[in-house]
Structure 1
Amino acid sequence: MAMAWRAAPRVAARLALGRRGIASCIDPSVGLTEDQKEFQKVALDFAAKEMAPYMAEWDEKEIFPVETMRKAAQLGFGGIYVKPDVGGSGLSRLDTSIIFEALSTGCTSTTAYMSIHNMCVWMIDTFGSEEQRRRFCPSLCSMEKFASYCLTEPGSGSDAASLLTSAQRKGDTYVLNGSKAFISGGGDTDVYVVMCRTGGPGPKGISCLVVEKGTPGLSFGKKERKVGWNSQPTRAVIFEDCAVPVGNRLGAEGQGFSIAMQGLNGGRINIASCSLGAAHASVLLAQEHLTVRKQFGEPLANNQYLQFGLAEMATRLVAARLLVRHAARALQDGREDAAVLCSMAKLFATDECFLICNQALQMHGGYGYLKDYAVQQFVRDIRVHQILEGTNEVMRMIVARSLLQG
């Protein structure tokens, strides 16, 4: 591994040590309870020791780090906001945001997959029957098994309610036909939470089924080649006369779209939190580079233009963190405006944090474009956050609709 890559573990270690070496104005522990600081410290330590040293290798070799994630699950990170009676940690949405932000400083791509897995387990825990909860959740919370979320289709992305994957009921089974696109973990995971059409057109005709790997008629497309997120495989998930027991349906027929959207409210907080971690790590990488690198006989840190840029990056980071945590509290409290605030947080944090990471790369000059330097991986891994869990254009539509109808 190139010498420059040691900056990634070193930055993660600085975060793990807490306030030491980090300006208090961007300290992510400010305002947290003692319990939350402890959750954060555990996650930061794990990111520094178990993720950051391997982040580049996982990206380059496209390794899905199953054993590392199982170690994270031993700390309670496999079902963070799942009820304890089925193996979850029973923590709040704010606690979850704090943990995902911390883990993302070690490897954003891997943490983002873990956030999707957590969303799937929560959906089963929340909308499943007692039998379903006890059948699926314990092995998912321990990450003995992994989960994927299947909503997007080749012809329906932002317009999720127009999905075409059909599920025809025949006795005690549903027969699925269709395909899902861009599925994180697809082919390597064990449980697929699938939105499918059991009724007429529109959102009321959609139901939610849990499909297990190995079910006849379930297959996968080729592994996609992506700009970032290379530590998690992405494939199409294909159903060809795939028979799934009616007992694997979450909730009632026609409830699937509501389940999907409620899951995504939390998913948007989760992915925004992953963006915060990448941005914080990038600010520290830029800070370190400006201090060490010299041009025209003096450190880059003496250049006022770059000082101002760093100040703007820090300000964006703190503003985004405050909004994400505000939305997380609203979601936990079940507030009426929670869905809109989740959309605001996802929109603002993913846009602003990408700008932060990209500016950090720019501050590295030509070095920032080399794969020997960690900052370029944060840029590549964070870019897709503006697209998934609902594109940021859709987030704007949700916010505008709320304002104009309210």
Structure 2
Amino acid sequence: MTVSRPFLSEEGAALIGLVREIADGELAPRVDEYEAERRFPRELFGLLGKAGLLGLPYAESLGGAGVPYELYLQVLEELAARWLAVAEGVSVHTLACYPLATFGSDGQRERLLPDMLGGELLGAYCLSEAHSGSDAAALNTRATADQNGYVVNGSKSWITHAGRADFYNVFVRTGGPGPAGISCLLIDAATVGVTSGTPEKTMGLRSSTVAQLMFDGAVVPADRLIGDEGRGFKIALSALDGGRLGIAACAVGLAQAALDYAAAYAREREQFGKPIAEFQGVGFMLADMATQIAAARALYLAAARLRDAGLPHTAEAAKAKLFCTDTAMRVTTDAVQVLGGAGYVSDHPVERYMREAKVLQIFEGTNQIQRVVISRSL
């Protein structure tokens, strides 16, 4: 990866160095095999956890690393440049820890969060349902209070890490219709009545398990309610601000990998007696790709600085997610074009990059939803 990061602190530079060492040594050599076999790299998440990379933006007192969000996102970008599914998995885990870290009680955080951030456990974030994707407030999964806590029935769709996670952050209906009736429960994966469906056969991110999650009379203790009843929709939207920035950073990492590969190919591939990079049609395409990536990186970092400063950043996170993922789609498509016929076969990674870029425009809120968020802010 060719990115220079001149404004990092000494500690930040050391962290990025560690991430690059792990990404180049452990992720890059495995990605093709695991993607081809649709194999989930659970052992690599254990490795990342032991390296302290599964709790980066959370306070050290809670078991995290206490790094700024701006630095955490650059870690995701580095990981995504080698293996998008792993970077996306780290982003999803970080998102799954957010409700407890931000809205949980002191007792809940002290009891549960250290294990979630310490690296041994892997989390999932469960909001979408088959009929309520973009319209998340229409969810139907219901949690009924009884003397044992809550009895949960229903299902969630498109859940990253379904059947692989150790805990699930689940948004359920405890009251009437609409946002005011939604609450948030932290449910152990081993809970009786919690099962996962057959993994989806996705276009890209084939080593990332995505499946339906079902709840059939699952009993969840009352002390697993995060925040007050009826506050779940607010928690969900607040969490998505950070999640969207995570996807933005992943998109930039993927786009950078595509540019690096296409530029190297264009320097080596000769036609009409000279490298194709020297032809203006190819050189200008590479120049546009590099410019778009630089602009995308600046946009997600600017939004992260707002978050680190405790300032409103919902619209800025939406802009970053929108622009960065659209950029990834354009850049990976152009990378395939630079390689020509070679770009259309799996012998070269740009074919995979292009397939992976598409989903970045869809999850954590489609890019049409990002435009809704941005337009409302105006």
State the 1:171 CA deviation.
Answer: 2.1
- Cα displacement string for residues 6-59 of structure 1 (whole angstroms, at most 9, x for unaligned residues): xxxxxxxxx3xxxxxx4xxxx341333333322222212221111111111110
Aligned to 2:340: 365
Deviates more, 1:128-137 or 1:42-51: 128-137
Identity of aligned residues (%): 37
State the SS of the aligned residue for 1:239.
Answer: strand
User: Match for 1:118: what amino acid?
Assistant: T
1:84 lines up with 2:60 in the alignment? yes
Distance 2:170 2:4 in 1: 35
SS in 2 for 1:46: helix
Structure-1 residue corresponding to 2:143: 167
Q: Where in structure 1 are there 5+ consecutive unaligned residues?
A: 1-14, 16-21
Residue equivalent to 2:87:
111
Say yes or no: does 1:71 pair with 2:47: yes
User: Aligned partners of 1:58 and 1:355: how far apart in 2?
Assistant: 25
The total of aligned residue pairs comes to 378
Q: Deviations over 1:75-134 (max 9, x none)?
A: 221111122123211111101111101111110111101110011123222222233223
**2:351 matched to which residue of 1?**
376
Measure, in 1, the Cα distance between the counterparts of 2:374 and 2:314: 9
1:299 is aligned, of 272, 275, 279, to: 275
Matched, 1:221 2:197: yes
2:274 & 2:136 partners in 1: Cα distance?
A: 54
2:252 aligns with one of 264, 271, 276: 276
Contact 2:49 2:119 in 1 (8 A): yes
Tell me, in whole angstroms, the C-alpha distance in 1 between the residues paired with 2:355 and 2:92. 18
- Other-structure match for 1:155: 131
Deviation by residue 1:256-307 (Cα, 9 ceiling, x = unmatched): 1111111110000001000111111111101100011112222111111100
1:178 aligned counterpart, secondary structure: strand
The 8 Å contact of residues 252 and 296 in structure 2, kept in 1 or not, is answered as yes
Which AA in structure 1 matches 2:179?
P
Q: Distance in 1 between matches of 2:275 and 2:306?
A: 44
Counterpart in the other structure of 1:130: 106
Code of the aligned partner of 1:300: I
> For residues 95 and 87 of structure 1, what CA distance do their matches in structure 2 show?
17
97, 115, 118: which one pairs with 2:73?
Answer: 97
1:391 paired residue among 359, 366, 370: 366
One of 251, 254, 266 as aligned partner of 1:290: 266
Partner Cα distance (2:112, 2:251) in 1? 29
Give the letter aligned to residue 352 of structure 2: Q
Alignment of 1:45 with 2:44, yes or no, is no
1:143 and 2:130 equivalent?
no
| 1:351 counterpart residue number | 326
2:242 equivalent to 1:258: no
Q: Which amino acid aligns with 1:126?
A: T
* SS of corresponding position for 1:148: strand
Which residue identity does 2:28 align to in structure 1?
Answer: A
1:233 aligns with 2:209: yes
Letter in 2 for 1:184: T
Equivalence for 2:377: 402
CA contact (8 A) 1:79 1:122 kept: no
Offset of 1:366 from its aligned partner?
A: 1.1
Superposition deviation, residue 65 in structure 1: 1.2
8 Å Cα contact 1:76-1:89 kept in structure 2: yes
Secondary structure in 2 aligned to 1:211? strand
Rounded to whole Å, the distance in 2 between the matches of 1:110 and 1:324 is 20
CA contact (8 A) 1:70 1:142 kept: no
Compute the RMSD of aligned alpha carbons.
1.3
3-state SS of the aligned residue for 1:254?
coil
- Residue of structure 2 in register with 1:6 after alignment: none
Which secondary structure does the structure 1 equivalent of 2:230 belong to?
Answer: coil
> Any unmatched runs of 5+ in structure 2?
none
Three-state SS of the structure 1 residue aligned to 2:28 is helix
> Using the alignment, how far apart are the partners of 2:324 and 2:144 within structure 1?
40
CA distance in 2, matches of 1:28, 1:324: 16
CA contact (8 A) 2:52 2:119 kept: no
Checking the alignment, whether the CA contact within 8 Å between 2:329 and 2:354 is kept in structure 1 is yes
1:342 — aligned with what? 317
Task: Say whether the 8 Å CA contact 1:83–1:125 is kept in structure 2.
Answer: no
Task: Measure the CA separation in 2 of the matches of 1:34 and 1:353.
Answer: 30
